[in-house]
A and B are shown apart, each in its own frame.
Chain A
């Protein structure tokens, strides 16, 4: 017990130190690396809190995917850096004030939790057997909070549309300019040939096991996206143009199937997003698989960025 508490204290100190170092770093690239390390340490903290589902998501999304997006942003900033490398003092002051305000708001919210913490835990544990699921987190996400889960996936599509909207009119519907620095190298090609089969199996496993144990669509989808990005960065597959119909279909197939099952629930089970008795588990697994695919494609395209050139005829 004492060893474990010593480990926990050390972990918290390390997380705080890495967080502070990330803020203090002047170089954007180094700050992003610090942020990724921070995310991975946070994942360990979630494991220590027995929230393995959250830990997987933090490692995949918080550390991996967000890190990838930020690296893309750093690369774009470097290209855009021209005459005015440093913003003026009022701009910097306003940015600092806004950041401090957000941090203070979060601190107030975290430091003053409500008297009675609202929890679905007892209800979920009581009724989990009915849905046929073994993972209470999946139970909450797909039975009690299905609407939140559905909207979360729709938000992802909105974010993607937002990124695409940054493209100038002349290249709309064109090919995203993937901006991660990777010189052509046989080592990277080797990895991009060797890893994706393993990664795809891991992604399907994470999605499948999500009904019983920690895992699920978001974690599996992130692994899929990572494999796709690896293949594109290594240059084994070219980045597709965003006007491709199959691409757009893949992005929406998950939410559409989720929505279709939700609407059919109004007829078959008398409520929106309710599952007919006895069919809950197969329906949830079907939705999870479709969502994994959509999330994978959407995250990959988010990292690829806005379109930058039109498809050569």
Chain B
């Protein structure tokens, strides 16, 4: 039986995660956690919390990042028995996280009608010249991108997913994700490099 893929067939792990080789202790903790050992699961949480939290913060925003990180680990605990060890635990957890985050984004879309696509929101982020501060500015600017462009930018440029994978995740065409990515980059450029 194949390991369950939370985002369906055809979507592979992002390149940045495929290279990660989990230590033997992590594999042992996964096995213990699958048998109900919460202390082992806590160690897995400690190892991966920062990555999941950062992903949530970039995709949805800092206000919900903590809550979403909790949701991701609770969901991972629920689904842990479906993990067969065919990929690294971090890769599998990352997939779970993206599904949880995209689901929440869907909820927010319903609540707010549609997420605002206000490009002017970027003006609220203080822009600095000079590439040395670009990293810090980039975090703030990503958070102010229009929702669709933001998710695609994070998944592609930060997390290393391919357009076809993002399109599958979001239920849109690769052409749409390419257009959104270019839009995101140009908005960021307009803000960060002016």
Co-assembled chains A and B: no
